[in-house]
A and B are shown apart, each in its own frame.
Chain A
Amino acid sequence: MIRFILADLRRFKGGALAVVVLIALSVALSVTVTLQERAVRLGSARAAEKFDLLVGAAGSETQLALSAVFLQPSPLPLMSGAVLAKLSQDPRVDFAAPVGFGDSAYGHPVVGTTTTLVSALSPRLAEGALFARLGDAVIGADVPSPLGAEIKPMHGGIDQGGHVHTEIVYRVSGRMAVTGTAWDRAILVPIRAVWQLHGMEGGADHDHADHDHAGEAPDGAAAGDHDHGHEAHIDADAALDEHFDADTPGIPAVLVKPKTVADAYRLRQEYRGETTLAVFPAEVLTRLYATLGDARSLLLAIAIGTQVIVVAAILLVTIMHVGARQRQIGALRAFGASRGSIVAIVWGELFLLFLAGFALGLLLGYAAARFISASLAATTAVRMPVEFAREDASLAVWFVALAVLVSIVPALSALRLSPARALRA
Chain B
Amino acid sequence: MLALDIADLVMCFPGLDAPVLAIDRLHLAAGARLAVTGASGSGKSTLVNAITGLETATRGSVSWGGTDITRLSAGRRDAFRAAHIGLVMQDFHLFPGLSAFENVVLPVRLSRRLKPAERERALQLLETVGIARPHQSVETLSRGEMQRVAVARALLSKPGVIVADEPTASLDRRTGDEVAELIVRLAREGGATLVVVTHDPALTERLDRRIGLDGGRIVEDSGEARAA
Chain A residues in the interface with B (C-beta under 8 A) = 1, 3-4, 7-8, 10-11, 327-328, 330-342, 345, 415, 418-421, 423
Contacts and interface: CB of A to CB of B under 8 A. Distances in A.
B98 A3 contact: yes
A418 B97 contact: no
A332 to B, nearest CB: 7
Contact of B78 (A1, A339, A421): A339
Contact of B56 (A339, A340, A418): A418
A168 B111 CA distance: 86
A419 B89 CA distance: 13
B79 interface: yes
Contacts of B169: none
B148 interface: no
B93 A336 contact: no
B110 A334 contact: no
B40 to A, nearest CB: 14
B54 interface: yes
A336 B108 contact: yes
Contacts of B157: 336
Given A334-B87, A339-B78, A420-B49, A345 B110 contact: yes
A11 B97 contact: yes
A340 to B, nearest CB: 8
Contacts of B110: 1, 4, 332, 337-338, 341-342, 345
Given A333-B78, A334-B52, A418-B54, A328 B109 contact: no
Given A335-B107, A341-B111, A421 B98 contact: no
B81 interface: yes
Contact of A337 (B54, B96, B98, B107): B107
Interface in B101-122: 102, 106-111
A218 B55 CA distance: 85
A11 B96 contact: yes
A335 B106 contact: yes
B153 interface: yes
16 contacts: A1-B109, A7-B96, A7-B98, A11-B96, A331-B95, A332-B107, A335-B106, A336-B107, A336-B157, A337-B106, A338-B79, A339-B75, A342-B110, A345-B110, A423-B54, A423-B89
Contacts of A3: 98, 102
